[in-house]
C-alpha cells in the first residue's frame, strides 16, 4: 500500500511593505514623477490623502483605483512596459530584501502552493511576482482592450474582504478550497488584511502597522520582520 501523500500546503504573501521594504504603487508614482509623466505636487497631495485613509481603514478602493489606474490609460503599452523594466531596476530590486527572498524560498522548497495577494494592480506587480519566483498573482486587474488600458479595474478589487473572495475563486479554479490544505499561511503588514489573515491556519504579521501588531499580540499570531 502506498504511503499517504504529504498534505498540500498554501503560502500567501501580501506584497507592499511585506515582501517589499516599501510600497510598489508609491514607488511607481515616484518613478513617473521623476520622468515628468505625473505632476509632483498634485500627485503627492492625493497620495498622502489616500495613504492616510488606508492607515485608518476608511479607503474607498474604487475612488483610489480611479486615481491609481488613470496614468496607465494615457500611454501606450510599449511605453509602459519599457518604463516598467527601468522601474524594476531602479526602484524595486533594491527594496526586495534577502530575508523576503529566503522566506519565499523556504515555502517553495517544501512544495507549498505560492501566491502573492495584493491590492496593487497587476501591471505594476506582475513583473515583481515573477522576480520573486512566485507562480501565482492575485491582484487588482486593470481593464484593457488590445493592450490599451482603460483606466478602470476589471472585476472585484483585491482589497480587504475582496482578497478573500479573489483567493477563494482562484482556489476553486484549481479544484481546491481551504480544506484542501494541511496548513496555510498569509504574511501581511496591514490591518486591512485581517479578513484574509483570519482565514489561514498560520497568520503572520510582518513589520506590522500598530493595529495589526496589537491584534497579533492579542491573538497569539506570529510576528516577524523581513527587513535586512
Catalytic residues: 14, 16
Report DSSP state, residue 35. T
> Helix 40-56 vs helix 24-34: angle between axes, to the nearest 10 degrees?
170
Q: How many Å apart are CA 32 and CA 139, to the nearest integer?
A: 21
Strand order in the sheet with 137-145: 148-154, 137-145, 113-121, 10-13, 184-188, 202-206, 222-224
> Helix 24-34 vs helix 77-87: angle between axes, to the nearest 10 degrees?
110
CA dihedral 187, 189, 190, 193 (to 10 degrees): 0
Type and span of the H or E element at 13: strand 10-13
Report DSSP state, residue 20. B
Strands 184-188, 148-154: pairing kind: unpaired
Q: Are the C-beta atoms of residues 193 and 163 closer than 8 Å to each other?
A: yes
Amino acid at each position: 500500500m502506498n504511503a499517504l501523500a504529504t498534505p498540500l500546503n498554501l503560502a500567501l504573501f501580501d506584497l507592499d511593505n511585506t515582501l517589499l521594504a516599501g510600497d510598489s504603487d508609491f514607488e511607481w508614482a515616484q518613478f513617473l514623477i521623476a520622468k515628468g509623466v505625473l505632476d509632483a505636487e498634485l500627485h503627492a497631495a492625493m497620495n498622502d490623502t489616500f495613504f492616510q485613509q488606508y492607515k485608518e481603514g476608511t479607503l474607498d478602493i474604487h475612488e483610489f483605483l480611479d486615481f491609481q489606474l488613470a496614468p496607465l490609460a494615457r500611454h501606450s503599452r510599449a511605453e509602459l512596459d519599457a518604463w516598467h523594466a527601468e522601474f524594476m531596476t531602479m526602484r524595486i530590486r533594491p527594496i526586495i530584501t534577502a530575508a523576503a527572498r529566503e522566506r519565499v524560498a523556504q515555502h517553495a522548497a517544501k512544495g507549498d502552493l505560492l501566491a502573492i495577494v495584493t491590492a496593487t494592480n497587476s501591471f505594476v506587480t506582475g513583473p515583481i511576482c515573477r522576480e520573486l519566483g512566485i507562480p501565482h498573482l492575485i491582484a487588482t486587474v486593470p481593464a484593457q482592450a488590445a493592450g490599451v488600458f482603460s483606466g478602470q479595474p476589471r472585476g472585484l478589487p483585491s482589497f480587504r474582504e475582496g482578497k478573500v473572495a479573489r483567493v477563494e475563486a482562484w482556489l476553486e479554479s484549481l479544484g481546491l478550497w481551504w480544506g484542501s490544505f494541511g496548513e496555510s499561511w498569509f504574511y501581511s503588514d496591514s490591518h486591512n488584511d485581517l479578513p484574509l489573515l483570519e482565514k489561514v491556519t498560520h497568520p503572520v504579521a510582518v513589520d506590522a502597522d500598530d493595529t495589526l501588531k496589537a491584534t497579533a499580540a492579542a491573538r497569539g499570531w506570529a510576528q516577524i520582520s523581513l527587513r535586512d
